[in-house]
Structure 1
Amino acid sequence: MNAKFMITPVVFSMLLLASCGGSYSSNSSDSTNSYGSNNNSYGSTANDSNKNDMRSDSKPMILTQKDVLETVKSKINSDIVVMLPKDIPLSSDSHFLSAKTTDAPDAYQVIFYETKNPISVNSDDLKEASKATAIATVSGKSYMTEQEAADATGHMDNVNTGMNGVDLGSNITGYTDAGAGSTFLNWAEGRWSMSVRNTTSADQQDSIDLAKKVVAMLEKETLPAPHQVGGMKLEAMPNKADGNIISWQNDKTDYTVSNFKDPLDGVKITTSFTK
């Protein structure tokens, strides 16, 4: 009687251990199942979660210029066709591109910024001069008539006439003009009129040198084809961003690149529309 009483707990314990051991073995033996293993394609594992945590603590994703421009386009809601350049020159390869967008049914504007650290499009950080520097503005605007759009480009007729012709290279001649304390060196290329402004007290060779560089650049790069006209006005004086403007007509819509400090950068931005 006593012997049977002592054996029963031992047998019960062995059965219990065998049962627990069988359950543990079942869970650990299948390391290649479809739902919880490191090799599955259906859900996160502990390692996946750790990677996500590391990503959330890392620096903001660095976007290429193409990525930024695609983001800019996605932010614009306008009834007119949105056109953007494909290349914005920066002062350093280690700097980044960002932008601030505004739009309306008949217009849009994009101010491009150069930043030392990645800043997302339309971020409030772009308002801080210590973090972002405006480098160019690109805009589009529709008008009631084609003539209004043509007038908005600043295109000048009959610029290839006059006295004091200046050889700008590539069989192109520029002509000088003056008025109100300024001098102008004007020429035409196709449906585009070009003008370089300077002050009367400045060295006029600066205007000639800039014009020659523009002409040489346009031998290799192509401006957008206007329908019907385009106008380019550049400043020979350094850092006169507010006087630099390149604009062309597409029927009733006018597209503009403006507010760039370096005239050649503005030309490069404009030619990148055609790439």
Structure 2
Amino acid sequence: MNTKMLVIPVVFSALLLASCGGSYSSDSSDSSNSYGSSNNNYGSTTKDISKNDMSGSTKIPTLTQKDVLATVKSKLSSDVVVMLPKAVPLSSDKHYLSAKTSDSEDAYQVIFYETKAPISVNSSDLKDTSKATPIATVSGKLYATEEAAAEATGHMNDVNTGVNGVDLGSGITGYSDAGAGSTFLNWAEGRWSMGVRNTTSADPQDSIDLAKKVVAVLEEETLPAPHQVGGMKLEAAPNKAEGNIISWQDGKTDYTVSDFTDPLDGVHITTSFTE
């Protein structure tokens, strides 16, 4: 009788240990993902990660341009009123927008990039040219006076005068000029002065064609209203980003879109400020 009573507790203890051991094994699997809290730009601005299947695999979240621009604005701290475009054209709808920001008390700068895969704002990966390509630079700078801000725009007075008038469409006439190995085709629209530069050895028709395309775009889209003036200088020769600049005054502040390879992309970026 006593022997039977001793066996039963031993068997029961063995079963209890086996059960605890199995439970510990199932809880020890790693359920963490590869993103973590350090991936700040994929936070609450994106929708919840969607599941691809019942196995628990996930789809990498991406940011819309609106999300990226909101993130960019949150990174900037300056006495200058921050203005940003509402859209930046990409070469492919399979690519992504990112940016690098910098600021000071009287200025801010944003370099926009096109990337092949999602890259967070201000990531060091933006330095890798195999991953990221600069699209354009947007900046704002506060000057001591309105006159200094106006001068910074590069606005040209009296461009709607001269000889060799060229019909650019929409009732607008451009006027040609030359000097220092360059040719210029200039015109004005409202408080904006526009100019297309080329080399003297290039076909003058290249400048005319670009100017006509810009005029046609501005029939459908609207540039920011400058207070008081704005200036646009574009390169007819391809891939001369350093010569492309669009700038307008708002009191003592000068806003600029620059360093864009495609002149029409720069125009579209600038008109998106008004959308």
Same fold (TM over 0.5): yes
Which residue is equivalent to 1:194? 194
AA aligned opposite 1:106: D
Which residue is equivalent to 1:21? none
- Residue 60 of structure 1: CA displacement? 4.9
Looking at structure 2, the residues matched to 151 and 138 of structure 1 have their Cα atoms a distance apart, in angstroms, of 18
Provide the TM-score with structure 2 as the length reference: 0.81
Looking at structure 2, the residues matched to 239 and 53 of structure 1 have their Cα atoms a distance apart, in angstroms, of 42
Which residue is equivalent to 1:87? 87
Where structure 2 has 5 or more consecutive residues not aligned to the other structure, the ranges are 13-26, 37-56
Contact 1:142 1:149 in 2 (8 A): yes
Where structure 1 has 5 or more consecutive residues not aligned to the other structure, the ranges are 1-5, 18-45
The SS at the match of 2:265 is helix
- Residue 130 of structure 1: CA displacement? 1.1
The SS at the match of 1:135 is strand
Looking at structure 1, the residues matched to 34 and 79 of structure 2 have their Cα atoms a distance apart, in angstroms, of 42
Deviation per CA, 1:52-110: give whole Å up to 9, x if none: 64876957531011100000000001011000001110111111110000000100000
- Residue 128 of structure 1: CA displacement? 1.0
Q: Does 1:166 align with 2:166?
A: yes
4+ runs deviating over 2 angstroms: 52-61
The SS at the match of 2:119 is coil
User: 1:1-275 residue pairs with structure 2 within 5 A?
Assistant: 50=31, 53=33, 60-275=60-275
Looking at structure 1, the residues matched to 210 and 259 of structure 2 have their Cα atoms a distance apart, in angstroms, of 17
Looking at structure 1, the residues matched to 197 and 204 of structure 2 have their Cα atoms a distance apart, in angstroms, of 10
Looking at structure 2, the residues matched to 55 and 200 of structure 1 have their Cα atoms a distance apart, in angstroms, of 54
Task: Return closer, same or farther for 1:178/1:53 CA change in 2, 3 Å cut-off.
Answer: closer
The SS at the match of 1:254 is strand
AA aligned opposite 2:200: T
Task: Return closer, same or farther for 1:54/1:136 CA change in 2, 3 Å cut-off.
Answer: closer
The SS at the match of 2:61 is coil
Contact 1:153 1:230 in 2 (8 A): yes
Looking at structure 2, the residues matched to 80 and 137 of structure 1 have their Cα atoms a distance apart, in angstroms, of 16
Deviation per CA, 1:232-264: give whole Å up to 9, x if none: 000000001000000000000000000000000
AA aligned opposite 1:219: E
For the aligned residues, what is the CA RMSD?
Answer: 2.7
AA aligned opposite 1:195: G
Contact 1:109 1:139 in 2 (8 A): yes
Deviation per CA, 1:114-142: give whole Å up to 9, x if none: 11011000000101111111110000000
The SS at the match of 2:112 is strand
Looking at structure 1, the residues matched to 34 and 124 of structure 2 have their Cα atoms a distance apart, in angstroms, of 26
AA aligned opposite 1:147: E
The SS at the match of 2:63 is coil
- Higher Rg of the two aligned structures: 1
The SS at the match of 1:62 is coil
The SS at the match of 2:210 is helix
Looking at structure 2, the residues matched to 102 and 108 of structure 1 have their Cα atoms a distance apart, in angstroms, of 6
Identity %: 76
Contact 1:60 1:118 in 2 (8 A): no
Looking at structure 2, the residues matched to 141 and 205 of structure 1 have their Cα atoms a distance apart, in angstroms, of 35
Looking at structure 2, the residues matched to 244 and 122 of structure 1 have their Cα atoms a distance apart, in angstroms, of 24
How many pairs were matched up? 242
